Amino acid sequence: MKKLYILPALLLLSGLASAQTVNDIVRYSTTTNTGSARSTAMGGAFGALGGDLSSIVVNPAGIGEFRKAEVSITPSLNIAKTKSDDRVSNQLSLQLGTLGGVFVFHNPNSSWRGFNLGINYNNLNNFNRTTSQYVYNSGTSFTEILALEANKYGASGGREKMALNAGLISFNNETGFFEPTLLPEEEVTQRKHIREDGYQGGYDLTFGANYKDKLYLGMTIGVQNIHYKFESVFMGKGDTGNFFGLDKYTVGQYLKTQGIGTNFKFGMIYRPIPELRIGAAVHSPTFFSMKDTYSEDAYSEFYEPDENNDCSYRSYITPATYNYDMQTPWKLVISAATVLMQKATLSVDYEYSNYTLARFSNGDDVEDFYTADGTGANDQIISELKATHNFRAGVEYRLNNTVSLRGGYAYWDSPYKMSSMPTLLRSNLKIQAISAGFGTNFGMFFIDAAYVCKFSKDITSFYFYQDSFDSADDIIANPLHNKYANHEGRITLGMRF
């Protein structure tokens, strides 16, 4: 059974039937946006602090810290920079970071000092990114994979039929096998342009309580929505002497994913002494109902030197939809913070999440995502993903009653097992972020600003084909070294009353 690897850049998809992959789990379970400008500037380390609208995304007990009602809004501007070998691409996007309010019912004369209610929207992920890649003299051809797939599964439908109609593979009547139109040494250049768009948003309804200003409890009922679009155009060019006269070809792939899901969070914060706060929170899985819409097309141009006549072919896979359910992993957050002399604040969060517990289920055609040979999507989640240990740290210093300075760092562990990847494609897939910002407090009104740079790197390929029965059929395109940097600015405008 073949395995066509699709690494985090989301390369050539292996078809609608296998569009659900471990990369979908990673994309929608790893939430790297950290909310308000204050939270962002401090690395998102708010699990033990509270008192900030976006803190309840980490630990709902933080809502108990509010003494006054508050409303705020955070717009964000993001520049996503991708460098793939020597090719650099940038994409600019403007999104709503946070929007919400907290209603406070405070009674200082009671042991239970307050019962608070919060309603908040938080942008959890920004998917906007463009990637351009280029390889000379690759030594492989994607038409090889198309021919192998046609020989295994026939060319009566799907990608294999599209490839045959576009002239990217041909049938040899003498051998009885499909053959690639371009041999490896005949494909001189390969290019790809990828564009990703969309966001993942969370809508939270949070309840919290404050007991004697020492113990804070909170619970969140959450709804998340996903809007994701992926467009990829792969381009190959043949040399002038190739047997079939294929000049150039393209394969386009288009995926649109929509989803809505629900989750729960439970948290507590305890203050054993005024200077120390300890927090803990549990996030349930988010249970999504998902819908994918997928299509492909192929285009080819041939030259015929003897007749001096160009010809071209176009073929496509009719757009199709696929419905399924998806469950993200549990999360556990342990936090600690200290406030010294009402001037300096230090805060750290540790987050544990076991990605092997994520699952797909209830697919169309009663698909359960397990297979006897272990290549099903759920089988690959278990074999290719692992538990992660993530860290966030932040600091804030009050210069005076009006101005505060902030800084932070965040680290997201790679959820991929390096041993499960092809040797040439193993890389460190961790994400890191450094941030800084400031805040101004005018009593009833406040303004916070933050800048954060998130960066990561990996090694990918246009395609990788592995045959578990015959290693001679394994095909890997040239590795591509990618670096990703997201530069984001956030401003929070808020009012307390």
For the cut 80, the answer to whether the pLDDT of residue 419 exceeds it is no
Closest CA to 218 of 40, 353, 39, 57: 57
Q: Where are the beta strands (DSSP E) in 137-286?
A: 169-172, 177-180, 187-211, 215-238, 246-273, 276-283
Write down the pLDDT at residue 423.
52
- The verdict on residue 436 lying in a domain is yes
Report, as an integer, the average pLDDT of 154-173: 89
Pair type for strands 246-273 and 215-238: antiparallel
CB half-sphere exposure, 96, CA atoms < 13 A: 12
Position 158 scores a pLDDT of 85
Domain-embedded: residue 6? yes
Domain count, the chain: 1
pLDDT at 435: 97
Please provide the average confidence, as pLDDT, over all residues in the chain: 88
- Confidence (pLDDT) at 281: 97
Residue 375 maps to a domain: yes
Asked if 494 contacts 71 with a C-beta cutoff of 8 angstroms, the reply is yes
Torsion of CA 469, 473, 477, 479, to 10 degrees: 40
Q: Taking 70 as the threshold, does the pLDDT of residue 197 lie above it?
A: yes
Task: Residue 389: give the domain boundaries.
Answer: 2-141+182-496
Residue 7 pLDDT greater than 70, yes or no = no
Average pLDDT of span 272-279 = 93
Instruction: Determine the average pLDDT of the residues in 18-23.
Output: 75
CATH of the domain at 458: 2.40.160.60
Residue 154, in any domain of the structure: no
Residue 146, in any domain of the structure: no
- Evaluate if residue 5 carries a pLDDT over 60: no
Q: Specify if 162 maps to a domain.
A: no
Q: Does 159 map to a domain?
A: no
Percent of the chain with pLDDT over 90: 66
The pLDDT tens digits for 450-471 are 999 999 998 888 887 776 555 5
Q: What is the mean pLDDT of residues 291-301?
A: 94
- 166-170, 181-185, 360-364, 462-466, range with the lowest pLDDT: 462-466
pTM of the model: 0.89
Which pLDDT score is estimated for 307?
Answer: 56
**Residue 155 falls inside a structural domain:** no
**DSSP letter for each residue of 370-422:** --TTS-SHHHHHHHHB-EEEEEEEEEEEESSSSEEEEEEEEEE---B-GGGS-
What pLDDT shows up at residue 418?
A: 74
Separation CA 224–CA 227 (nearest Å) = 10
